[in-house]
Structure 1
């Protein structure tokens, strides 16, 4: 970037930042921080540890929201000061640093602009992700495990906490299904664009003839339920089965019937939990995931009714939303956004930010 372009670029960045601040409602963020700070300062805060954790966590998240915006304002101020210093002292090397910093600020602002598009009813929630193997036999089960690793690595790279809730191992290799939480602000809004059918094409490591195979896995993302959601499920609508937890190859993990399978009779939704140590813990975890799925189902039904009334029957998501091709060429491509990457290893190691950002922008444009 040439030196004479700096002022115009800075002015454009300030304009974009002002728009982001307006959409983010900085005044409301400050009001939330003030209210949460008052609650966090109460002497009896930790009499209820669970509620205290929610308050302090919410306060930290809102402070982070504000800091993301104010830090960019400060960085732009520093850049203008560097330009003035370079002109006064005749230090052209500082102008090189200005160009580098402006590029970094633009990238950070672009990421923050995507963040402002997460304004759905449950976007700010933690996420519950379930991956199920589809057509493709052992290949699909192995693909399911690859996807689990990809999402867990993505979460780890962003400093997000995760918790595996349930795993069902396939007989030969891989997973029939897996369910895990991603605990971070806006985890649901971010990961919800990953929901859909994923396809893998590769030379199968399980085929002695070295033939190319195609397999499928389904990714489901639901928002984590909160106490305020009030999703009441009558006892007579739930069927609970208990069984013994097991690991790869059927090896016994424990000797008690601690695993729980919970079926919601009216909808047929089934949730299994076996990764906690006790039946009580697994039952509570299963109920929470069941409530989360019913919450999302309720929202989907409401949206479907609105679309029907409006005469809009267009489907938002296709049956196959992304392809991972490892042979005869290397390419991961999202079929909705057309975003693609030739570095398949990096993607499967968790480099998903480009796909997620493109998905969020695509969804916002599709819903506009």
Structure 2
């Protein structure tokens, strides 16, 4: 076996060994048996909500354990693959392709082990708002919404669009969507900040270059255990008819709901459901997520004031997408970049997400 291949396998062995220490497959096996016992109890479904949590966790732990064991088996088999290739004298292209795929999967799992924050395993609430740049910014906000939806679809995650506020000429003023799936909050939380687009404006009849901005906010979906109490006296609820592009009404009943949290003046709108009750419930979930994040931000500020941590802000502009005069997408925190913006805008975000998660881990270690 060539020295560089042996070195690569040794490197993967070290990485996978570290992952196994963190994930602890023996402990995962014990948890699977415990959850299987609970799932087999006929009385479990007396409490459907608890039953759903048990079966969901069982499925997730079983899947993670199967993935970890599969990677271990594939890595153990790699030396045999290269030996067979040498013996048969047919070249090692297939073995090298398997090594490349295995490295990518192990590195992706390594990144997942870095998602150990209190809320990282939860689903994500994304809010996208157009910023400076006029109609180009509204169009840019809609392009970003499409990018995240495409990313979620590629990962097999369900997306619910809670609210879309359309701009008059093109694009959107804002949109709120929930991306369902384990660890979607932890994964997408590194997307928070201002995204900058540079291109020849399709809305400028003189064909001039335009810079526009959109803001992305990422919050964890709130669970019942979070204890975010919102008294009825603290909110104002307004109902209206759902609207589509150009302000046109999309139904004939006042089913859309706008909730204003009076103490903070936070406003949440939901109009994706036909039922006013369903829209109110969805809007309350988003409001709770925003209040939970506000509470967390206040706690971080208190710790920072006591010298317990650095500045938690990610800064304003975090990524640039340049379509003219050259083609490039670059993350300004990690310096990760690609020269195919269209691929990124079609949802190919994994490289940026992994680089962002590694960068965040590195920054946290510096503070510690």
TM-score norm. by structure 2 comes to 0.94
In structure 1, runs of 5+ residues without a counterpart are none
Kindly indicate whether the alpha-carbon contact (under 8 Å) linking 1:3 and 1:95 is maintained by their aligned counterparts in 2.
no
C-alpha separation in 2, matches of 1:25 and 1:311: 30
C-alpha separation in 2, matches of 1:187 and 1:244: 31
2:273 alignment partner, one of 273, 276, 286 = 276
State the Cα deviation string for residues 42-77 of structure 1 (Å, max 9, x = none): 224444444433322221111121122111111122
In structure 2, runs of 5+ residues without a counterpart are none
Matched, 1:200 2:197: yes
Matched, 1:12 2:11: yes
C-alpha separation in 1, matches of 2:60 and 2:312: 34
1:61 — aligned with what?
60
Matched, 1:117 2:114: yes
What SS does the aligned partner of 1:163 have?
A: strand
2:328 — aligned with what?
331
State the Cα deviation string for residues 146-202 of structure 1 (Å, max 9, x = none): 000000001111111111111111111111111111111100000000000111111
Aligned length: 365
Matched, 1:363 2:364: no
Matched, 1:321 2:284: no
1:233 — aligned with what?
230
1:301 alignment partner, one of 269, 292, 298 = 298
1:188 — aligned with what?
185
C-alpha separation in 1, matches of 2:58 and 2:268: 32
Give the superposed CA RMSD.
1.8
C-alpha separation in 1, matches of 2:274 and 2:127: 20
The Cα shift of 1:23 comes to 1.4
C-alpha separation in 2, matches of 1:85 and 1:15: 24
C-alpha separation in 2, matches of 1:103 and 1:142: 38
Kindly indicate whether the alpha-carbon contact (under 8 Å) linking 2:328 and 2:338 is maintained by their aligned counterparts in 1.
yes
C-alpha separation in 1, matches of 2:312 and 2:52: 40
C-alpha separation in 1, matches of 2:173 and 2:89: 60
C-alpha separation in 1, matches of 2:292 and 2:316: 22
| Mean Cα deviation higher: 223-232 or 309-318 | 309-318
State the Cα deviation string for residues 233-278 of structure 1 (Å, max 9, x = none): 1111111111111111121111111111111112221110011111
- Pair 51,157 (structure 1): closer, same or farther in 2 beyond 3 Å: same
2:252 — aligned with what?
255
Matched, 1:157 2:163: no
- Pair 98,176 (structure 1): closer, same or farther in 2 beyond 3 Å: same
Matched, 1:72 2:71: yes
1:23 — aligned with what?
22
| Mean Cα deviation higher: 25-34 or 334-343 | 25-34
Kindly indicate whether the alpha-carbon contact (under 8 Å) linking 1:83 and 1:94 is maintained by their aligned counterparts in 2.
no
2:41 — aligned with what?
42
The Cα shift of 1:143 comes to 0.6
The Cα shift of 1:102 comes to 2.1
1:215 — aligned with what?
212
C-alpha separation in 2, matches of 1:178 and 1:48: 34
C-alpha separation in 1, matches of 2:255 and 2:16: 52
Matched, 1:349 2:346: yes
State the Cα deviation string for residues 107-158 of structure 1 (Å, max 9, x = none): 2111111111111110000000000111112111111100000000011111
| Mean Cα deviation higher: 100-109 or 141-150 | 100-109
Kindly indicate whether the alpha-carbon contact (under 8 Å) linking 2:85 and 2:95 is maintained by their aligned counterparts in 1.
no
The Cα shift of 1:5 comes to 4.3
C-alpha separation in 1, matches of 2:312 and 2:224: 32
- Pair 104,43 (structure 1): closer, same or farther in 2 beyond 3 Å: same
